A and B are shown apart, each in its own frame.
Chain A
Amino acid sequence: MENASGLQRQLARMKKDLFDQGYLDEQFDQLEELQDESSPNFVEEVVTLFFRDSSRLMANIDDALQQCPRDFHRLDNFLHRLKGSASSIGAAKMKNECTSFREFCSEGNLDGCLRSFQKVKNDHTILRQKLENYLQLLRQVGPVDKASRSGS
C-alpha cells in the first residue's frame, strides 16, 4: 500500500492528466480550494450533483431531439443549463461542446446537433469515469494540508 505522499503524487498526476487532456479547467481547482475541514467532501458533493443534473438534462435533450417537429428553443434551454453546470465544475470539454451544440441549434441544423450530442455524451461518460477514479483516490488520501495537495 503506497504511503500518503505516494498517493498524493498519484493524485496530482491524475489531475494534471485531466487538465492536459482538456477535460478540466481551473474552475475545478477553485472547487478544491473551497474544500476544507468544515466542508471536507465538497468536491465530491458538487461532482455528484453535477452528474445527477447533467444525466437528467441529457435525457431531456435526447427526448427533444427525437420529437417531431424539433423544438430548438426548448433544446437550447436544456443546453444552456447543461453548459452552465459544466462550467461551474470546470468540465471544460463538455462546456465547449455545449457551445458548439448551441450554435447548431440556433441554425436549426439537426445533423450538427446529433453529432454534437454524441460528443457531449462521450465526454460525459469519460469524465464521469475519470472523476470517479480521481475522487476515489482523493478519499484515500484523506484530509490533507492544501499546500501539499496542490502538488506544487
Chain B
Amino acid sequence: MSSPRGPKACGGGAADRPIHVLAVDDSSVDRAVIARLLRSSKYRVTTVDSGKKALELLGLEPNVNMIITDYWMPEMTGYELLKIVKESSELREIPVVIMSSENVPNRINRCLEEGAEDFLLKPVRPSDVARLCNRMR
C-alpha cells in the first residue's frame, strides 16, 4: 500500500489522507484505464459505472476530492451528474471533470458553464491527469 505522500507531489491530501477520486464511466475498458492512470499518480480511486451509483456513493462517503466522469452514459449523462452535484449543498464544492471521446465545443462550453473544472478528451493521457493535480479539493 503506497504511502499518502508518494514520490509525485499530487498524491498526498491534507492530514495525510490520500486524495480520493471517484471515476464514473459505463465502459469497463475506460474505467480500468482511468483508474490505472489515477492510481499511478498515487490517488485513491473508486470506480462506478453510472451516475446513479456515483450519487449513492457520494451520499455515503463525502470524502471525495474529485469526481471524474464520462459525458455519454445511458440513463444519466455526465452533464446531468455535474448539475446534480453543483446543485447540492453537500456536494457542490467537489470539483467535477468531464471526459468525452468527442470534441464538441458546445458540449464543452455547456459543461464548463455548469461548473465543470475541466473537460478531457479521451483517450485520457498521463499529462491530462497531471493537469488535474491542482484542482483537487
Contact = CB atoms under 8 A, between A and B. Distances in A.
Interface of A: 27, 30-31, 33-34, 36, 38-39, 42, 45-46, 49-50, 52-53, 80-81, 83-85, 87-90
Nearest to A82: B27
A46 B122 CA distance: 16
B33 A83 contact: no
Contacts of B29: 46, 49-50, 53, 84-85, 88-89
Which among B2, B72, B123 has the greatest number of chain A C-beta atoms within 10 A? B123
B27 A39 contact: no
Contacts of A85: 27, 29-30
B36 A84 contact: no
B28 A88 contact: no
Contacts of A34: 33, 36-37, 40, 126
Contacts of A90: 123
A127 to B, nearest CB: 14
Interface size class of B (residues with CB under 8 A): 10 to 19
Contacts of B27: 53, 81, 84-85, 88
Please report whether the interface of chain A is mostly helix, strand, loop or mixed according to DSSP. helix
A34 B34 CA distance: 11
Nearest to B74: A77
A90 B33 CA distance: 12
A7 to B, nearest CB: 25
A49 B34 CA distance: 14
A45 B72 CA distance: 24
Given A46-B29, A85-B27, A30 B125 contact: yes
B32 A45 contact: yes
Contacts of A33: 126
A87 B101 contact: yes
A12 B3 CA distance: 35
Given A30-B125, A80-B72, A88 B30 contact: yes
Interface in B32-57: 32-33, 36-37, 39-40
